[in-house]
Structure 1
Amino acid sequence: MEGMALNQLFGNAYFGRKVLVTGHTGFKGSWLCLWLTSLGAHVTGLALAPNTEPAHWSLLGLDEVHDLRVDLRDGQAMRQALQEVQPELVFHLAAQPLVRRSYRESLLTFDTNVLGLVHLLEAIRETPSVHAVVNATTDKVYAEQVIKNGYPEDHPLGGHDPYSTSKACAELVSDCYRKSFFFDGGPRTATARAGNVIGGGDWSEDRLVPDLVRAASTGSILQLRNPAAIRPWQHVLEPLSGYLRLGQALLAGEPVEGAWNFGPASDATLPVHALVSQIQAQWPGLRSEYLPGPHPHEAGVLQLNCAKAARELAWRPVWSAEDTIRHTIDWYRAYYASSRLLSSEDLQDYVAAAHNAGLEWAA
């Protein structure tokens, strides 16, 4: 599975296809652009400038990606961009993605995550070239309730903090446009709900692994807000494989419109303190301590039920918690030791593991 063989993944659905990725300068968007260019897609990115230094997008140097700097909140600029690009498929990842920032900047969060999506969908309505839309939301769209096997897609939507609520609203907006405007020959649409993604190249504020990496690289002590919180930790390539499989199915006319969960392997739904312990085993010298509250509300338990994706998309996670943590920490240690990027190597390793596991998209 090396070199040009990557072009054949996902049934060759992306080779030569015009794809728009919103939020391409962010952590998840930059990895998606790396994968799409490896698939032979003609990729345009639409986003604001990276908001961290360093930034994975900048380090990748993907000069083949058409890089547009457009604010989701500017409806006219959005329409002009889509008219210029004429994409066939849109992956919508642009967002204000941070829970604690959403408490500080609630208006910005709703403006970006809800009205920004409306601007995008209105622009798509005026762009007949668009055949499919994948809107990436979050596992936090569900009304909080402890469920033994995790939230299924038909669990009620909800939200406590402004970020979670804005993303639940984004789910409703997507469903509204699908039913009201895209039902008769318009673009086929789906939403994708993923867990807490980790992996190399994330330097965002208030995210556990970037905070751990900063502490380890400087020899400082990381203060943990909620060490007992349980989250579905997954390598960034896991949900991206789900997004790409979903995009493939939409383009092929499969009956896959609606909402989809893409979560990690069962052994990767862990409390924060367990993840920290496993990272400490990979990066000796990391120190942490509990930071007493009060802190803004965050859900105590988040877990996704991905049976629908396994049954109807033949999708399942590839890497165990150990694999995910090892690749993540190896990436950061290589970067801090020698400025070496392991992103392409991680992609090759992930695809090879999926192929060996017999996943159809990697056949």
Structure 2
Amino acid sequence: MVRLQDFYKDKKVFLTGHTGFKGAWMAAWLQQSGAIVKGYALPPEYDNGVYDYIRPADSVLDDIRNKLVLNQAIQSFQPDFIFHLAAQPLVRRSYEIPAETFDVNVTGTANVLEAANNLLNPCTIVVITTDKVYENKEQDILYKEGDALGGHDPYSASKACAELVVSSFRNSFSNKAIASVRAGNVIGGGDWNKDRIIPDIVRALSNGQVIEVRNPVSVRPWQHVLEPIGGYLRLGALLQQDPAKYAKAYNFGPAPDDHLTVKELVEKAIAIWGNGQWKDASKPGQLHEATLLKLDISLAKKELQWTPKLNAAQAIEWTINWYKQPAANRQAYTIQQINEYMQ
């Protein structure tokens, strides 16, 4: 059994996207576990995220499309592990910058894998994509790792393409162990991205405004950010020990019976906050966003012995409670939540 509290101690971990929402939480977890972390990402797009409270001492702020700088950063560090999270991660933004979304998410992934392939030492690589890589039929089914890839919007399609890049590198170069991971709709403290439901809720509630909800009846696989991160780290450990068995794709999401609509999430968040109102802001002809998406997590449960620790209601409570903390307490509260989750 892998004990994550101990496994990454003194391991050298190269983490792309460490200034973003999920990447910053992962950096915090790794540092709390005693790992030697080097981050590589663009400067953060917003203030008061987890990155502002917990910054790796070794950090390169640059673009993953800058092959020279990226390769130098990886070669000089000689990592034991690479976790690749850097991306253009927003569905609605991908409609505004479709070509750039493909460039970052597809070419950027290839750049990371090529640089890693040039390492002489063994290095275990986990590439983070998304639950939206599947050809979503908008039906009440659980998508498995072997189901057809697709993607309606440029973001989803670009991540499906990134999965093909991972598969190609895994099949073409046998000197590195590479896996990919597909997580559901991740929530947690410190996310201030535009057009994401939790930041929209918190901004509205903080300013005494009515929350505008675009797709209240849409169903999503909500999970707290620490759930998939724990899965990624567990996979990384097992992948290093047995590459032949674990070099594949894995889904990480909530239990099959633990899916909420956007409306249910908003109402639970309001109840935890203590007050607030919402309204349906759906518009005819608005940009397409999936209305129904569920993941089959049986492979991760069977092979990785990973299972969700928090249900959707608990994930929302942990998330809203983070935002209710005064700024001076958020660093300590982030570590507190990580420690509570690990225990």
**2:215 aligned counterpart, secondary structure:** coil
The match for 2:105 is: 113
The match for 2:246 is: 256
Q: For residue 325 of structure 2, what is the amino acid of its counterpart?
A: A
Q: 2:176 aligns with which of 182, 187, 205?
A: 187
The match for 1:30 is: 24
**1:57 partnered with 2:51:** yes
Separation of aligned partners in 2, 1:144 and 1:202: 26
The match for 2:133 is: 141
Alignment of 1:140-179 (within 5 A): 140-146=132-138, 148-179=140-171
**Segment drifting more, 83-92 vs 9-18:** 9-18
> Is contact 1:93–1:136 with CA below 8 Å preserved after alignment?
yes
Alignment of 1:73-84 (within 5 A): 73-84=65-76
Q: For residue 135 of structure 1, what is the amino acid of its counterpart?
A: V
Separation of aligned partners in 2, 1:125 and 1:318: 35
Point out where structure 2 has 5 or more consecutive residues left out of the alignment: none
Q: For residue 274 of structure 1, what is the amino acid of its counterpart?
A: E
Separation of aligned partners in 2, 1:335 and 1:307: 39
Identical pairs, percent: 44
> Is contact 2:255–2:297 with CA below 8 Å preserved after alignment?
no
The match for 2:115 is: 123
**2:18 aligned counterpart, secondary structure:** coil
Q: What is the CA deviation profile of residues 42-65 of structure 1, one whole-angstrom value per residue up to 9, with x for unaligned ones? A: 1100001000122220122x35x3
Alignment of 1:1-363 (within 5 A): 9-10=3-4, 12-60=6-54, 62-63=55-56, 65-146=57-138, 148-181=140-173, 183=174, 186-254=175-243, 255-293=245-283, 294-335=285-326, 340-341=330-331, 342-352=333-343
Let me know the Cα RMSD of the aligned residues: 1.5
Q: How big is the shift at 1:251? A: 0.9
**Segment drifting more, 20-29 vs 128-137:** 128-137
**1:295 aligned counterpart, secondary structure:** coil
**1:250 aligned counterpart, secondary structure:** helix
Instruction: Note closer, same or farther for the CA distance 1:54–1:312 as it changes in structure 2 (3 Å cut).
Output: same
Separation of aligned partners in 2, 1:200 and 1:302: 23
Q: How big is the shift at 1:9? A: 2.9
Q: How big is the shift at 1:322? A: 2.1
> Is contact 1:190–1:257 with CA below 8 Å preserved after alignment?
yes
Separation of aligned partners in 2, 1:55 and 1:81: 24
Separation of aligned partners in 1, 2:335 and 2:257: 25
**1:25 aligned counterpart, secondary structure:** coil
**2:112 aligned counterpart, secondary structure:** helix
> Is contact 2:81–2:123 with CA below 8 Å preserved after alignment?
yes
Q: How big is the shift at 1:120? A: 1.0
**Segment drifting more, 282-291 vs 299-308:** 282-291
Separation of aligned partners in 2, 1:50 and 1:177: 29
Q: For residue 55 of structure 1, what is the amino acid of its counterpart?
A: G
Instruction: Note closer, same or farther for the CA distance 1:276–1:135 as it changes in structure 2 (3 Å cut).
Output: same
Instruction: Note closer, same or farther for the CA distance 1:95–1:27 as it changes in structure 2 (3 Å cut).
Output: same
> Is contact 2:64–2:112 with CA below 8 Å preserved after alignment?
yes
> Is contact 2:5–2:342 with CA below 8 Å preserved after alignment?
no
Q: For residue 254 of structure 2, what is the amino acid of its counterpart?
A: P
Q: For residue 195 of structure 1, what is the amino acid of its counterpart?
A: G
Q: TM-score, normalised by structure 1?
A: 0.90
> Is contact 2:186–2:225 with CA below 8 Å preserved after alignment?
yes
> Is contact 1:19–1:41 with CA below 8 Å preserved after alignment?
yes
Q: For residue 94 of structure 1, what is the amino acid of its counterpart?
A: A
Q: For residue 28 of structure 1, what is the amino acid of its counterpart?
A: K
Q: How big is the shift at 1:13? A: 2.5
Q: TM-score, normalised by structure 2?
A: 0.95
**2:229 aligned counterpart, secondary structure:** helix
The match for 1:358 is: none
Q: How big is the shift at 1:146? A: 4.3
Q: What is the CA deviation profile of residues 215-253 of structure 1, one whole-angstrom value per residue up to 9, with x for unaligned ones? A: 011111121111111100000000001000100011112
Point out where structure 1 has 5 or more consecutive residues left out of the alignment: 1-7, 353-363
Q: For residue 12 of structure 2, what is the amino acid of its counterpart?
A: K
Q: For residue 107 of structure 2, what is the amino acid of its counterpart?
A: L
Q: What is the CA deviation profile of residues 314-336 of structure 1, one whole-angstrom value per residue up to 9, with x for unaligned ones? A: 11100112211111111101136
Separation of aligned partners in 1, 2:132 and 2:315: 21
